[in-house]
Amino acid sequence: MRLTKNEVQADIDALPKNYKTKDLDMLIKSYVSQAADVSPLREYVLDMQQFHRIYFYVALKQMRDVMERLAFINDNLLFEDWWHTDQLIKFVADLNFDIALEQAKKYLKYKDPFIQRWGYVMFISKLGRGHADELLKLIKDHDHYYVQMGEAWLIAELAIDEPDKVYKWMRENNIKYNINGKAIQKICDSYRISDEWKERFKALRISLKARK
């Protein structure tokens, strides 16, 4: 079954008005069960962003090998203005960390900020756990809001299992406050980080703001 633009748009139009993600996921589930071919949608993804989740999910859910999934993502870095790249995290969670790290370094060299964002958020799963030393080295100053938020999210995620390393890095890094500040806010919003550590990170705000 090859999905055409018109067929998929008709299916989307048939969803409830103001449909929710769960409604779209039911549609995706039906496509996956039919082993649908989404390749005809590729040329429309950037112009019709309602196709993004369908295009990636239907293809990736039919793949069992994580390297095959990674290859598909690399062949389809159609992320422009798509800040929901985090929807793909679960599809790469089983990657070998060293392979993932090399891929991330390549993503961070792209000019597209949403591909750069993906280079950070791809580690927000078991893939990044225990790797604060390596991943914090990837954090750089970025002007784009969604890249900054991706960095902050990764920093906060690393602080769950390795708060001491993240705290030491934050005290010593030369990153602008807007990224550190966003990371501290996400740390404080996390229910998986202790109140003691949250207070320690909050106490850094004054000194971090004072940096030039």
pLDDT in tens, 154-188: 999 999 999 999 999 999 999 989 999 999 999 99
Does 160 share its domain with 190?
yes
Does 11 share its domain with 85?
no
CA distances to 78, 127, 156 from 190, in Å: 30, 19, 8
Q: What is the pLDDT of residue 50?
A: 86
Q: What is the pLDDT of residue 68?
A: 98
CA 84 and chain centroid, separation: 7
Does 103 share its domain with 136?
yes
pLDDT in tens, 40-86: 999 999 998 889 999 999 999 999 999 999 999 999 999 998 888 99
- How many residues comprise the chain? 212
Round to whole Å and give the CA distance between 9 and 108.
Answer: 33
CA distances to 48, 98, 103 from 74, in Å: 20, 16, 9
Note the pTM of the prediction, 2 decimals: 0.94
Residue with tokens 């705000």: 205
Does 166 share its domain with 103?
yes
User: With contact defined as beta carbons under 8 Å apart, do 79 and 118 qualify?
Assistant: yes
User: With contact defined as beta carbons under 8 Å apart, do 95 and 74 qualify?
Assistant: no
Round to whole Å and give the CA distance between 183 and 37.
Answer: 40
Does 7 share its domain with 39?
yes
Does 29 share its domain with 127?
no
Does residue 212 carry a pLDDT above 80?
Answer: no
Round to whole Å and give the CA distance between 8 and 34.
Answer: 14
The parent domain of residue 85 ranges over: 81-209
CA distances to 15, 139, 151, 185, 190 from 156, in Å: 36, 12, 9, 9, 8
Number of domains in the chain: 2
pLDDT in tens, 17-39: 899 999 999 999 999 999 999 99
Helix (H) or strand (E) holding 176: none
Amino acid at 194: S
Does any domain span residue 71? no
Does 132 share its domain with 54?
no
